[in-house]
């Protein structure tokens, strides 16, 4: 599933085409994705101008001049692609780059099409999703905090609200495994399996240790928790800079894939040497809450 860096990459790739463009028509080729589309979704979006694109956790936010926001989630296999030129002409798809694991471009999986008119002319932004685990919703912009998908989300890992002191308050007294605590979207919004594994490796913390062990008896953050927060920020920043991970089910909007995958230190590296200098350990894989966890038993304590 695309994680925060991948969704941020999609947002940045779509922004030049979508921001400031008018939605001539929002075409829905089926009645639902993972969930049914909002009532009169196409009618409410058609004719509106896209003010800006944003992101909250793993959700793409498309703000319209009506005061409404389209909330889009990519699910497991969802992706956007941009096609320029009038519909009657042969569309020009922005698909440069070498493909490692390309995403679907099969038209039978094109479920939502934004027909746009912008400063540079006509274009289409197409949402393709073979598995249909993604979804789209629409909400009033002023009420996003109480939207069922966004309500109760924790701070962004890239924002100032995430601090060691904040996590100490969330973790104190918690016997919950550290990895599970980090994946809890109420603690931190947008962190997923891949980047939690990477952040824990960078901070040399074992994923199974109780979250409370990073908090002092007086409720203060330990130095290890300070390092964890820094590692979370760094791994997310590195992934965004690299353009998102080039996983099987992620592709950038211009058709190219990110390359942070080739910099993974633990994720999907079971049986390979740990990259911590002078460690000498071997990356292991365990299963936590149904998800694969990759870590080094030697240097992660």
**pTM for this structure?**
0.87
With respect to residue 290, please indicate whether it lies within any of the assigned structural domains: yes
With respect to residue 159, please indicate whether it lies within any of the assigned structural domains: no
Range of the domain at 244: 164-295
CATH number, domain of 123, equals 3.20.190.10
* Same domain, residue pair 168 and 114: no
Q: Which of 58, 124, 179, 202 is catalytic?
A: 58
For residue 160, what are the contacts with CB-CB under 8 A and spacing of at least 6? none
pLDDT at 138 over 80: yes
pLDDT (average), residues 149-167: 94
How far apart are alpha carbons 144 and 69 in whole angstroms?
Answer: 8
Torsion of CA 172, 173, 177, 178, to 10 degrees: 10
Range from 7-16, 128-137, 191-200, 278-287 carrying the lowest mean pLDDT: 7-16
Is 58 considered catalytic here?
Answer: yes
pLDDT at 1 over 90: no
* Same domain, residue pair 141 and 216: no
pLDDT (average), residues 215-243: 94
CB 103 within 8 A of CB 79: yes
Q: Which of 3, 8, 83, 156 is catalytic?
A: 3
With respect to residue 151, please indicate whether it lies within any of the assigned structural domains: no
Helix H or strand E segment including 6: helix 4-18
With respect to residue 176, please indicate whether it lies within any of the assigned structural domains: yes
pLDDT at 49 over 60: yes
* Same domain, residue pair 119 and 50: yes
How far apart are alpha carbons 138 and 72 in whole angstroms?
Answer: 9
Q: Which of 25, 44, 285, 291 is catalytic?
A: 291
Position 263 scores a pLDDT of: 78
CATH number, domain of 199, equals 1.10.8.50
With respect to residue 126, please indicate whether it lies within any of the assigned structural domains: yes
Neighbours of 189 (CB within 10 A): 22
* Same domain, residue pair 43 and 173: no
pLDDT at 256 over 70: no
Instruction: Establish how many alpha carbons lie within 13 A of residue 116's alpha carbon, considering only the half-sphere containing its beta carbon.
Output: 26
Which of 115, 146, 177 is at the close of a domain? 146
Position 268 scores a pLDDT of: 92
Residue-by-residue DSSP string for 113-145: EEEEEETTEEEEEEEE-SS---EEEEEEGGGGG
With respect to residue 170, please indicate whether it lies within any of the assigned structural domains: yes
How far apart are alpha carbons 156 and 61 in whole angstroms?
Answer: 15
Chain centre distance of CA 207 = 21
* Same domain, residue pair 221 and 112: no
* Same domain, residue pair 182 and 139: no
Per the model's pLDDT, the better-predicted residue between 84 and 10 turns out to be 10
Chain centre distance of CA 33 = 18
* Same domain, residue pair 12 and 108: yes
Angle between helices 164-171 and 223-242 (to 10 degrees): 120
pLDDT (average), residues 132-143: 96
Position 95 scores a pLDDT of: 29
How far apart are alpha carbons 203 and 232 in whole angstroms?
Answer: 9
With respect to residue 277, please indicate whether it lies within any of the assigned structural domains: yes
* Same domain, residue pair 112 and 193: no
Count of domains in the chain? 2
At 165, list the tokens. 């002191």
* Same domain, residue pair 187 and 100: no
Position 81 scores a pLDDT of: 87
Range from 116-120, 161-165, 243-247, 262-266 carrying the lowest mean pLDDT: 243-247
Q: Which of 2, 5, 177, 221 is catalytic?
A: 2
> Across the chain, what does the average pLDDT equal?
89
Q: List, for residues 68-125, the tens digit of each pLDDT value.
A: 999 999 998 888 888 886 554 444 444 222 223 344 567 899 999 999 999 889 999 9
* Same domain, residue pair 169 and 291: yes
Q: List, for residues 278-295, the tens digit of each pLDDT value.
A: 999 999 999 999 999 999
**DSSP conformation class of 84:** E
Position 250 scores a pLDDT of: 64
* Same domain, residue pair 101 and 190: no
Position 97 scores a pLDDT of: 25
* Same domain, residue pair 48 and 89: yes
Beta strands in the chain (DSSP E): 22-28, 50-56, 59-64, 68-73, 79-84, 92-93, 110-118, 121-128, 135-140, 284-288, 291-295
With respect to residue 157, please indicate whether it lies within any of the assigned structural domains: no
Is 2 considered catalytic here?
Answer: yes
Is 19 considered catalytic here?
Answer: no
CB 215 within 8 A of CB 224: no
């Amino acid at each position: 599933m695309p994680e925060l860096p991948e969704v941020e990459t999609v947002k940045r790739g779509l922004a030049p085409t979508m921001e400031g463009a008018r939605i001539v028509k929002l075409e829905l080729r089926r009645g639902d994705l993972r969930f049914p589309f909002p009532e009169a979704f196409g009618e409410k979006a058609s004719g509106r101008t896209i003010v800006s694109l944003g992101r909250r956790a793993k959700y793409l936010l498309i703000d319209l001049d009506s005061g409404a926001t389209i909330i889009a989630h990519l699910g497991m296999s969802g992706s956007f692609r941009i096609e320029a030129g009038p519909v009657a002409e042969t569309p020009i798809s922005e698909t440069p780059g070498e493909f490692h694991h390309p995403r679907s471009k099969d038209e039978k999986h094109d479920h939502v099409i934004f027909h746009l008119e912008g400063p540079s002319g006509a274009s289409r932004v197409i949402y393709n999703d073979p598995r249909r685990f993604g979804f789209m919703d629409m909400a009033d912009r002023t009420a996003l905090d109480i939207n069922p998908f966004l309500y109760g989300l924790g701070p962004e890992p890239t924002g100032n609200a995430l601090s060691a002191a904040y996590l100490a308050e969330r973790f104190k007294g918690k016997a919950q495994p550290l990895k599970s605590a980090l994946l809890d979207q109420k603690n931190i919004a947008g962190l997923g399996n891949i980047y939690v594994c990477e952040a824990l490796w960078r901070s040399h913390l074992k994923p199974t240790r109780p979250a409370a062990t990073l908090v002092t008896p007086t409720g203060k953050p330990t130095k290890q928790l300070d390092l964890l927060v820094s590692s979370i920020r760094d791994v997310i920043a590195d992934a965004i800079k690299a353009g998102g991970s080039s996983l099987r089910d992620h592709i950038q909007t211009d058709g190219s894939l990110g390359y942070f995958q080739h910099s993974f230190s633990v994720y999907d590296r079971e049986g390979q040497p740990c990259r911590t200098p002078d460690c000498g350990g071997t990356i292991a894989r365990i299963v936590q809450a149904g998800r694969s966890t990759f870590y080094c038993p030697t240097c992660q304590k």
